[in-house]
Amino acid sequence: MGQRFEVEPSRVRETSRERETAAGCAARLAREKALEVSGRRRARWVLGADTLVVADGVSLGKPGTASAAAAMLRRLSGRTHEVVTAFALVDPAGRVFGERVVVSEVRFRRIEPAEVDAYVAGGEPLDKAGGYAIQGGAAAFVAELRGSHTNVVGLPMAEVEAMLRAAGLWRAGARRVTSPIGERYRAVVERVGEAAERCGRRPQEVTVVAAAKTFGVEAVREVIAAGATDIGENYVQEARRKAKDLPRDAARWHMIGRLQRNKAAQTVTLFHLVHSLDRPELARELDRSAFRAGVRARCLVEVNLAGEPSKGGADPGSLDVLLEQIAPLRHLEVLGLMSIPAPGTLDESRRSFARLRALRERLAGLRLPNVRLKELSMGMSADFEAAIEEGATIVRIGSAIFGPRTGG
């Protein structure tokens, strides 16, 4: 962060109280830790923090023993849980300047018993909430992450930076956590949260994919540093070049452009999610490639709602047949629908979003194997708030984050 900290362990006993929520418990412990250290280290600013992992309403703290860590990992295997981090800032007079709670959602893939045993034997999870560390070996267990990535790694850095700046503690000349690209990303995330809350949804229900077409790897580094976890690319080769220059697992890559069958083998090993499956021939090629690579291809079916000949996407009237052809493929999973509205007004885009949502709801009734229509990828820089209000779970944002494109 470019800031200097001294680490001072607190003497607060980390226990919960009866009928206390996870967020309330984490906030109380962060505050108590900061105040306790402040009482011993007078005339200092103190930042205290606490993290809890919550599964099915039950808070999972630090396991302490190998058997407890293994039990926690078995509980989290194949399921979604929350990572709740609270932090509190206490001024030199011992007063709480500010406090904040940040929640991220993490879904683990199914973890084999041998994997649990091997991970626990390494000793990494014993002092980590929930029995795992995403910045270590447990990164391989994560199938999906919604919300702040840094919150799951340690502290929610953008939120911490904002509080330090508000307190006047951000050292002049220090490297910013967020560059101009990062600042625009955080502004988009804030707008996404506000749009979700307006329609009674949680911000964590919406994934922001930073659409990086034509922008270089430095721009991608900047948006990842600001907390982005999902990067969208239109071309396989462009994504491969950027991924090669970034740390492994720095982000989840999304294929959001038209996909050629001859790129299937490269696609299944690089991309977390393909948004542009639109024909059975492509589905079969992705399935074969996934089988050879020992993975499972995760896809969305692209729908051409307006019947535009210049765009890819399946005809809405053919979706039943297409899904029935895809369903028997054992190494491919359809997780939802994607669409790009035809050029028009915001109201026209909103009607397209509502139509895609209705299609998803109808098709979900088919109950086909390997088809779980939980995702709606719709909405871009000009209309993502309307898309969220109509049910989008993924929005693809380019210019609102990276600025105007200069080519491509």
Q: Which residues are catalytic?
A: 50
Instruction: Tell me if 239 sits within 8 A of 218, measured CB to CB.
Output: no
Sign of CA dihedral 123, 84, 1, 242: positive
CA dist 112 and 172 (Å) reads: 49
Strands 252-255 and 230-233 turn out to be parallel
CA dist 250 and 223 (Å) reads: 11
CA dist 106 and 14 (Å) reads: 23
3-state secondary structure the chain: CCCCCCCCCCCCCCCCCCCCCHHHHHHHHHHHHHHHHHHHCCCCCEEEEEEEEEECCEEECCCCCHHHHHHHHHHHCCCEEEEEEEEEEECCCCCEEEEEEEEEEEEECCCCHHHHHHHHHCCHHHHCHHHCCCCCHHHHHEEEEECCHHHHHCCCHHHHHHHHHHCCCCCCCCCCCCCHHHHHHHHHHHHHHHHHHHCCCCHHHCEEEEECCCCCHHHHHHHHHCCCCEEEECCHHHHHHHHHCCCCCCCEEEECCCCCHHHHHHHHHHCCEEEEECCHHHHHHHHHHHHHHCCCEEEEEEECCCCCCCCCCECHHHHHHHHHHHCCCCCEEEEEEECCCCCCCHHHHHHHHHHHHHHHHHHHCCCCCCEEEEEEECCCCCCHHHHHHCCCCEEEECHHHHCCCCCC
Residue of 240, 235, 368 lying closest to 301 (CA atoms): 368
